[in-house]
Every structure is written in structure tokens, then in C-alpha cells.
Amino acid sequence: MAAISSPMVQSPTVVAPATAALTGGPFANASLYVGDLEGSVNEGQLFDLFSQVAQVVSIRVCRDQTRRSSLGYAYVNFTNAQDG
């Protein structure tokens, strides 16, 4: 999978999705790790970018618990593993 770039998200690291349910049951989904993000990148920007590819269930930019500043990575959750 090639890295996705945009003016706000520069050369993120994208890792193959980890499936939550390998059986393909009713709750099968994929969580995609996106790293090397600039500190200013937020959930809305990632949603706008990744929803162009597939249906996004949720996005979480990981943040420092005290300062609430971005740690430079996020998880994008898709409906199924193929979308990831």
C-alpha cells in the first residue's frame, strides 16, 4: 500500500490493517495505523482524506494525556479489512 499524502498530512506511514475479527463475523473491521503525522493534523482532516477511499467508522489521533498534544500517529477504523 502506498503512503497517502496531502498538504496537511505529509508522507504518513501506513501499516497493513489489523483485523479485529478474523472470522468475518458481524463485527469484522480493520484498524489502520497511520504514523509520522505532523502535530497539527486532527481527526477531521484524516476523516476527509481516508473517507475518499472507503467508509470510515472512526478515527483516533493519539495524544499526550497531560498536554493533549498529538503523539504523531493515529488509527483509522474501517468497516471491513478489505477497505483498510
Whether residue 54 is contained in a domain is answered as yes
Whether residue 1 is contained in a domain is answered as no
Whether residue 3 is contained in a domain is answered as no
Whether residue 40 is contained in a domain is answered as yes
pTM over 0.85: no
- Domains held by the chain: number: 1
**28-45 confidence digits (pLDDT tens):** 679 999 999 999 999 999
Q: Distance (Å, rounded) from C-alpha 8 to C-alpha 26?
A: 34
CB burial of residue 24 (10 Å; 0-12, 13-18, 19+): exposed
Whether residue 6 is contained in a domain is answered as no
Give the range of the structural domain holding residue 27, as residue numbers without chain letter.
13-78
**34-80 confidence digits (pLDDT tens):** 999 999 999 999 999 999 999 999 999 999 999 999 999 999 999 88
